[in-house]
Amino acid sequence: MSGQEAAAEPQDPRLTELYKEFDALGLIPLWTEREDLMPLHPKPAAIPHRWRWAELYATAVKAGELVPVGRGGERRAISLSNPGLHGLPHATPTLWAAIQYLGPNEVAPVHRHAQNAFRFVLEGEGVWTIVDGDPVAMRRGDLLLTPGWAWHGHHNTTDQPMAWLDGLDIPLSSALNTEFFEFGPNTLDDRSTPERSKAERIWGHPGLRPLSGLADIPKSPLAAYRWEHTDAALTGQLELEAEGHEGVTAHPGHAAIRFSNPTTGADALPTIRTEMHRLRAGAAVPASREVASSVWQVFEGEGAFVVNGGRIDVTHGDLVTVPSWAEVSIEAGTGELDLFRFSDAPVIEKLHFHTLPASVAERTTH
Ligand code: 1HN
């Protein structure tokens, strides 16, 4: 039965009265909304979309000239607003992504919030982020974590600006109403610039767990995942594959790693999956779809995403959103393609929304 059809035809006046009553009582009958409430597969409002890094960076530079950073606004961060999400500052329904720009010698004040955050550094160095009192250097290719409720502020120690990618679970936190925020001190007293953070000195040794840290910690205690390690891990996979070993890469010519929590082996952040991918020149990631939404950023190289049949060419720094259940394949150009990706997959997996029978998993979106 369709309520709309019923409404269009001359109908029993008692039914007209009933719909008025529903409305007055704040009720909506399922039969008029079934397709929205129970679609056959995810029909995301978010759309596949690309933001050019060159354009983001150029606007960030202008913001750097015109907008001071300090207490109140807190961060000179410019968020990616997915065109399908009605003007919200959300890249996907669950993920927030932004370019953050810190000018020469600028300071972003200390605060903390319940939302989990990371920074991924496309280029540059010279900023230290101080996480729960631990100064952490930010350099090209590094992934830096700011788990929920950790105090954090940033300071640029150089006379050059620096920009990076911020990712947070703000939209998820907002949907669940789990947001808390607290301002820290107005001044950043610790301007020290150690090469290695305390977190790395304790946790940053492959496969070695300190006996002082045998209890699992739900948010990774390792504040920094350094490019030198990520790069070596990806290089190792591709080298072994070239030597004829099987099962060492994600797909032929496609090396990939997940940033993980050294105490549990789970995702580095409880709500956000973070990964690095490397495709050999000319290699491709075959088409697949996933019950999770992602944001990808090109770290190095050029290539293309094909999302739901639409081709999106990408180059250095470009960001692409891939909505839940969109079919995506990726092609490297004439050189190697390095890609950073983050997604809401840990949340989906914890809630077991990803376990579907194959017959359902074959349904298409377009
Ligand atoms: C935040 O604290 C940072 O610490 C970046 O750099 C972006 C977006 C919304 C709310 C807090 C940061 C943020 C943010």
Q: Please give the distance, rounded to the nearest whole angstrom, from the Cα atom of residue 75 to the centre of ligand 1.
A: 6
Q: Rounded distance, CA 307 to CA 298, Å? A: 16
Task: Using the mean position of ligand 1's atoms as its centre, give its distance from the Cα of residue 84 in Å.
Answer: 23
Kindly report the CATH number that applies to the domain delimited by 226-365. 2.60.120.10
| Ligand 1 pocket test, candidate residues 115, 168, 174, 183, most atoms within 8 A of CB | 168
Residues 6+ apart with CB under 8 A from 26: none
Is the C-beta atom of 98 inside 6 A of ligand 1?
Answer: yes
Q: Domain residues of the chain, as ranges?
A: 49-183, 226-365
Query: What's the confidence (pLDDT) of residue 1?
Result: 43
Report which DSSP code applies to 43: -
Superfamily of chain region 49-183: Jelly Rolls (2.60.120.10)
Best residue among 166, 169, 172, 342 to mutate for probing ligand 1's pocket (most ligand atoms within 8 Å of CB) is 166
pLDDT at 309: 97
pLDDT at 357: 67
The verdict on the CB of residue 80 being under 6 Å from ligand 1 is: no
Q: What is the pTM of this model?
A: 0.94
Report the phi/psi class of residue 340: left, alpha or beta, with left for phi > 0 and alpha for psi in -120 to 50. beta
Helix/strand/coil for 71: coil
Query: What does each C-alpha distance from 257 to 105, 275, 296 come to in angstroms?
Result: 34, 6, 14
Distance 228 CA to ligand 1 centre (A): 26
Which residues in the chain show pLDDT less than 50?
A: 1-6
Rg of the Cα atoms in the chain: 23
E-assigned strand segments in 169-283: 181-183, 224-225, 254-258, 273-279
75 close to ligand 1 (CB < 6 Angstrom): yes
pLDDT of residue 2: 44
Q: In this structure, are residues 143 and 165 in contact, taking their beta carbons and an 8 Å threshold?
A: no
For the stretch 218-239, pLDDT in tens is: 999 999 999 999 999 999 999 9
The pLDDT value given to residue 87: 95
Residue count of the chain, please give it: 366
C-beta separation of 302 from 329 below 8 A = no
The helix (H) or strand (E) run that includes residue 211 is none
What pLDDT does residue 188 have? 87
Q: What pLDDT score does 11 carry?
A: 87
Q: Tell me the two tokens of residue 20.
A: 């008025």
The answer to whether the Cα torsion of 303, 306, 312, 317 is positive or negative is negative
Q: How far apart are CA 141 and CA 181, in angstroms?
A: 29
Q: How many C-beta neighbours within 10 Å does residue 163 have? A: 23
Contact 328, 289 (CB under 8 A): yes
Side chain identity, residue 6: A
Which H/E stretch holds residue 295? strand 294-300
**How far is residue 208's CA from residue 287's CA, in Å, rounded to a whole number?**
37
If we measure between CA atoms, which residue out of 116, 97, 114 comes closest to residue 294? Answer: 97
* Cα–Cα distance for residue pair 135/130, rounded to 1 Å: 4
List the beta strands (DSSP E) in 132-283: 134-139, 143-146, 152-156, 162-168, 181-183, 224-225, 254-258, 273-279
230 CB within 6 A, ligand 1? no
